[in-house]
């Protein structure tokens, strides 16, 4: 089984004007495609050939080239699905209740998620995750992923510069605000929450 560079769940220009077709052509068409191609080359002829990407991630040494490419391939696929051109305006009632219990309100969640993403010093990712005690926001550096740490990811934003630089230059806060205000796929996050509980 070859690790697939899955089609986007929307057209390349589907997230415009918040994320441009030009950014998507580089980010999805080159960066993500490159991780998938590298991963398939690395596992060919090894014990990992034919394995699911989650199994490769669980077994790979960390850090290593194998882990980095597997994690970045998985993280990017998750990120594309964390966004939607016609996003649901709010989480499911169950996820909304969990967000309010963990953060106080949707506005408080939005503010804390934005602060975490803007303040993530490294190239990396900001995640909403489900923990045994509720929901939390975590940052990971480089290719790291909550999947490796036994946490259930509900949604993510990519804060590597290639995710936003063509559209926003160094204004990461504007990119993060656009993600929160216009792009979050709450249906995807709500489905992930249902599977986590």
Element of type H or E holding 94: helix 93-103
Measure the CA–CA gap between 122 and 185, rounded to whole angstroms: 25
Based on the fold, state whether residues 59 and 115 are members of the same structural domain.
Answer: no
Q: 148 and 126 in one domain?
A: yes
Domain that holds residue 41: 21-81
Name the nearest CA neighbour of 70 among 27, 24, 38: 38
pLDDT 10s per residue in the chain (197 long)?
689 999 999 999 999 999 999 999 999 999 999 999 999 999 999 999 999 999 999 999 999 999 999 999 999 999 999 999 976 678 999 999 999 999 999 999 999 999 999 999 989 999 999 988 899 999 999 999 999 998 999 999 999 999 999 999 999 999 999 999 999 999 999 999 999 87
Domain check: are 51 and 110 in the same one?
no
Residue at which a domain ends, from 81, 111, 132:
81
Residues 60, 103, single domain; the answer is no
What does the alpha-carbon distance between residue 12 and residue 10 come to, in Å, rounded to a whole number?
A: 7
What pTM, to 2 d.p., does this model score?
0.96
Q: Which of 56, 81, 106 is the last residue of a domain?
A: 81
Residue 6 lies in a domain: no
């Amino acid at each position: 089984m070859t690790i697939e560079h899955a089609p986007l769940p929307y057209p390349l220009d589907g997230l415009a004007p918040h994320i441009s077709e030009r950014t998507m052509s580089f980010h999805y068409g080159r960066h993500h495609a490159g991780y998938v191609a590298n991963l398939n080359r690395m596992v060919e002829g090894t014990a990992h050939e034919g394995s699911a990407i989650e199994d490769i991630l669980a077994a790979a040494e960390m850090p290593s080239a194998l882990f980095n490419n597997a994690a970045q391939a998985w993280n990017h696929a998750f990120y594309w699905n964390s966004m939607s051109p016609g996003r649901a305006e709010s989480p499911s009632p169950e996820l909304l209740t969990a967000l309010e219990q963990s953060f106080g309100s949707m506005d408080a969640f939005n503010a804390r998620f934005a602060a975490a993403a803007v303040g993530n010093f490294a190239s990396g990712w900001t995640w909403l995750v489900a923990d045994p005690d509720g929901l939390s926001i975590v940052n990971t550096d480089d290719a790291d992923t909550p999947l490796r740490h036994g946490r259930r990811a509900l949604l993510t934003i990519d804060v590597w510069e290639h995710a936003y630089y063509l559209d926003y230059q160094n204004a990461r806060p504007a990119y993060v605000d656009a993600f929160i205000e216009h792009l979050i796929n709450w249906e995807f996050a709500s489905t992930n929450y249902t599977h986590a509980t």
